[in-house]
């Protein structure tokens, strides 16, 4: 008998449907066609053992399984469960009339238990899109799938439970999750708060501006000045994820297999902190079975690169294109996949190898030229993509000894959210633009152009500080955000003055005294 069981596979961060056709006839040969990879080919051994350990008899017949569409490579062990069900259905050991209602996925272990698979969330989204009524997934993935409503989601621990669902024994109940509730309940939980950071008003303000406009930010300062400490608190002042953003980000984590067991929708923005020994593939994604990299896991959130110059140049240079395009394309021999990568880059570094260049009290012990050389580890084009560069000085003793808590993250976040709302309204007609960091020069001219006085000021300051021309657009973009925080329609001279202050590295004299 020929049966069809429906499943799905992942390409990029989207699922595509896969139909598993099972045909049974006289003989004993077992064959899988439809571009299976090794893991899929090995399914046979797992399926035979799993069926045996589930108290059933494996049908000793000639079995041909076709994975359709036949032109896309099928990877991984996620088809074990639907194939096992297809075999049992073809042997008429389970009812076949309702199979068309189900989308099924799961890896089998030899004893018949069902193991988790990657990408269950996008598969569940696909199942709803295609109108399937029921979804059978590994129990470990059930909460992530149940985020999708209008589909009954069954999390099964083993093959027997899956068969129970198909036989409609009523023993297993579908898992129901109210996404609005988890969203409302969870959004504001952060374990670190800006109120613990003493002093450092300018740097905190720079962070506020960066978050408000989605600007990339680089911190330069001596050891122990609180760079890592403040960067860690950044998620707590970012605007909350919208439902659509949460779904996008969770999908990527689901595909990468990075969701903890029992996790549902991600409610706070991701904060990724890859170490400087990270490989280019781990950072941007790819590999022989393509997987999203750190920059995609940071989608809609923050990518924090601590000790920026320690990252090999080859690793830093691959960041240039995704920072600009907010998506990364990974090409394989036969196809290419896109992973979204709209992240805010936050980087921190010491100003020189000894760490004390520009320190108010400690002398810098670097050799002449070393400061420049250290800075040059970050290429010009990469630096050019960082809107805000701030120097940070060690916190004053009086500040650090103060017992008065500083302004809380919640208060800062409130201003950030307000400024973002202004931007969202302004760019409502511009597809793909949500914040000032993303505007092109046309939008810049339209919305961020200062008046004559502001322009004159900009010219005077840029000349005096010997700033490179490439800083011009960056300054205006940041000034636009500062004006938004100020609730000002126009970009005024004071906004420009503040924005110029955030271009430490553009000053012609930086590092020249050594
Ligand atoms: N403004 C501050 N308020 C309160 N504590 C601070 C502040 N600045 C620094 N500290 C304390 O100093 C510690 C070291 O700071 P942090 O690790 O952030 O330094 P860093 O700038 O990242 O240094 P490095 O360049 O060595 O990485 C913090 O964990 C914190 O306890
Ligand atoms: Mg640090």
Among 39-53, 248-262, 366-380, 396-410, where is mean pLDDT lowest?
Answer: 396-410
Q: Quick one: pLDDT at residue 113?
A: 97
Ligand 1 atom closest to the CA of 222, numbered from 1: 25
Residue 448 has pLDDT above 70, yes or no: yes
CA 343 to ligand 1 center in whole angstroms: 24
Closest listed residue to residue 145, CA positions, set 248, 264, 247, 8: 264
Residue 509 pLDDT exceeds 70: no
Q: Measured from the CB, is residue 133 less than 6 Å from ligand 1? A: no
Q: Average model confidence (pLDDT) for the chain? A: 89
Mean pLDDT of 110-115: 96
Q: Decide whether any atom of ligand 1 lies within 6 Å of the 338 Cβ.
A: no
Q: Is 229 a pocket residue for ligand 1 (Cβ < 6 Å)?
A: yes
190-196 mean pLDDT = 86
- Ligand 1 neighbourhood includes 228 CB (under 6 angstroms): yes
- Atom of ligand 1 lying closest to residue 219 CA: 21
Please name the residue whose Cα sits nearest to atom 27 of ligand 1: 223
Ligand 1 closest atom vs CA 225 = 21
Please tell me the number of the ligand nearest to residue 220's CA. Answer: 1
| Alpha-carbon span 320 to 381, nearest angstrom | 8
Whole-angstrom CA distances from 7 to 99, 104, 120, 390 are 11, 5, 11, 51
Gap from CA of 350 to ligand 2 centroid (Å): 9
Q: Which ligand 1 atom sits closest to the C-alpha of 395?
A: 1
What pLDDT score was predicted for residue 158?
Answer: 97
| Average pLDDT, integer, range 368-374 | 84
- DSSP track, 21-37: EEEEESS--EEEESSB-
Strands 62-68 and 14-25: antiparallel
Ligand nearest to the CA of 219: 1
355 CA closest ligand 1 atom index: 25
Task: Give residue 149's pLDDT.
Answer: 87
Whether 77 has a pLDDT exceeding 80, the answer reads yes
**Rounded to the nearest whole angstrom, what is the distance from the C-alpha of residue 223 to the centroid of ligand 1?**
8
Using a pLDDT cut of 70, give the percent of the chain over it.
96
Which protein residue's CA is at the shortest distance from atom 16 of ligand 1?
A: 226
Q: Is the pLDDT of residue 153 over 60?
A: yes
Q: How far is the CA of 190 from the centre of ligand 2 (A)?
A: 20
% pLDDT > 90, the chain: 59
Ligand 1 atom nearest 198 alpha carbon: 3
Report CA(470)–ligand 2 centroid distance (Å). Answer: 28
What confidence score (pLDDT) does residue 298 get?
95
Domain 2-167 has CATH 3.40.1210.10: no
Confidence at residue 510, expressed as pLDDT on a 0 to 100 scale: 65
- Ligand 2 centroid–CA 219 distance in Å is 10
Q: What's this model's pTM, rounded to 2 decimal places?
A: 0.88
Domain ranges of the chain: 2-167
The more confidently predicted of residues 508 and 409 is: 409
**pLDDT at site 187:** 53
270: tokens are: 């991701």
Sign of torsion over alpha carbons 429, 433, 439, 442: negative
Q: What does the pLDDT read at residue 188?
A: 64
Residues in a beta bridge with 9? 16
* pLDDT tier at 514, thresholds 50, 70, 90: very low
From ligand 2's centre to the CA of 226, what distance in Å? 7
**Tokens in use for 424?**
């969202």
Q: Calculate how far, in angstroms, residue 423's C-alpha sits from the geometric centre of ligand 2.
A: 32
Residue 224 CA to ligand 2 center (angstroms) comes to 7
Mean pLDDT computed over 302-318? 92
Q: How confident is the model at residue 381 (pLDDT cuts 50, 70, 90)?
A: confident
Q: What is the C-alpha separation between 387 and 344, in angstroms, rounded?
A: 11
Mean pLDDT for 148-153 is 92
The span from the CA of 502 to the CA of 371, in Å, is: 20
Atom nearest to 349 CA in ligand 1: 25
The answer, yes or no, to whether residue 273 has pLDDT greater than 70, is yes
- How far apart are the CA of 225 and the centre of ligand 2, in A? 8
Cβ(350) – ligand 1 distance below 6 Å: yes
360 versus 312: which is more confidently predicted? Answer: 312
Task: Please state which of the ranges 15-19, 36-40, 123-127 shows the lowest mean pLDDT.
Answer: 36-40
What distance in Å separates the CA atoms of residue 334 and residue 259, rounded to the nearest whole number?
29
Residue 198 Cβ contacting ligand 1 at under 6 Å: yes
The predicted model gives 312-325 an average pLDDT of 90
Strands in 2-11's sheet, in edge-to-edge order, are: 30-33, 62-68, 14-25, 2-11, 102-104, 134-138, 152-156
Q: For residue 392, give the ligand 1 atom closest to its CA.
A: 21
Please give the average per-residue pLDDT across 208-225, as a whole number: 94
Mean pLDDT of 315-337: 87
For the cut 90, the answer to whether the pLDDT of residue 133 exceeds it is yes
Q: What integer pLDDT is reported at residue 507 of this predicted model?
A: 65
- Cα separation, 185 vs 43, in Å, equals 41
């Amino acid at each position: 008998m020929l049966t069809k069981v429906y499943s799905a596979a992942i390409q990029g961060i989207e699922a595509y449907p896969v139909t598993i056709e099972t045909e049974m006839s006289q003989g004993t040969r077992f064959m899988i066609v439809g571009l299976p990879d090794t893991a899929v080919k090995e399914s046979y051994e797992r399926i035979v053992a799993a069926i045996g350990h589930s108290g059933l008899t494996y049908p000793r017949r000639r079995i041909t399984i076709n994975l359709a569409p036949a032109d896309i490579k099928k990877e991984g062990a996620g088809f074990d469960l639907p194939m096992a069900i297809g075999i049992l259905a073809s042997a008429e050991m389970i009812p076949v009339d309702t199979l068309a209602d189900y989308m099924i996925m799961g890896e089998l272990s030899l004893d018949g238990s069902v193991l988790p698979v990657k990408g269950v969330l996008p598969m569940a989204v696909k199942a709803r899109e295609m109108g399937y009524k029921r979804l059978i997934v590994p129990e470990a993935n059930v909460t992530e799938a149940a985020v999708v409503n209008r589909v009954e989601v069954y999390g099964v621990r083993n093959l027997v439970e899956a068969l129970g669902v198909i036989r409609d024994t009523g023993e297993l109940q579908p898992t129901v999750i109210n996404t609005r509730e988890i969203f409302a309940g969870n959004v504001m939980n952060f374990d670190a708060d800006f109120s613990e950071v003493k002093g450092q008003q300018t740097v905190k303000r720079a962070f506020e501006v960066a978050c408000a406009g989605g600007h990339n930010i680089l911190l330069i300062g001596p050891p122990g000045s609180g760079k890592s400490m403040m960067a860690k608190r950044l998620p707590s002042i970012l605007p909350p994820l919208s439902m659509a953003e949460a779904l996008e980000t969770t999908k990527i984590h689901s595909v990468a297999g990075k969701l903890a067991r029992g996790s549902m929708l991600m409610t706070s923005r991701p904060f990724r902190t890859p170490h400087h020994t990270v490989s280019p593939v781990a950072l941007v994604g790819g590999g022989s079975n393509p997987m999203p990299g750190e920059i995609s896991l940071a989608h809609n959130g923050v990518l924090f690169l601590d000790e920026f110059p320690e990252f090999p140049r080859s690793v830093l240079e691959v960041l240039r294109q995704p920072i600009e395009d907010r998506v990364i394309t990974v090409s394989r021999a036969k196809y290419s996949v896109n992973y979204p990568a709209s992240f805010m880059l936050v980087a921190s570094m010491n100003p020189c190898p000894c760490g004390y260049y520009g320190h108010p009290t400690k002398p810098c012990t670097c050799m002449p030229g070393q400061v420049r050389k250290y800075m040059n580890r970050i290429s010009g084009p990469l630096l050019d993509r960082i809107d805000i560069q701030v120097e940070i000085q060690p916190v004053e003793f009086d500040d650090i000894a103060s017992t008065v808590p500083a302004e809380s993250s919640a208060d800062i976040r409130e201003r950030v959210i307000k400024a973002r709302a202004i931007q969202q309204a302004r760019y409502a007609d511009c597809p793909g633009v949500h914040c000032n960091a993303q505007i092109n020069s046309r939008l810049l001219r339209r919305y961020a152009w200062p008046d004559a006085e502001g322009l004159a000021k900009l010219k005077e300051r840029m000349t005096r500080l010997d700033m490179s021309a490439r800083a011009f657009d960056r300054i205006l973009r940041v000034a636009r955000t500062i004006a938004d925080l100020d609730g000002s329609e126009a970009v005024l001279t004071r906004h420009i003055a503040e924005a110029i202050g955030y271009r430490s590295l553009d000053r012609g004299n930086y590092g020249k005294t050594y």
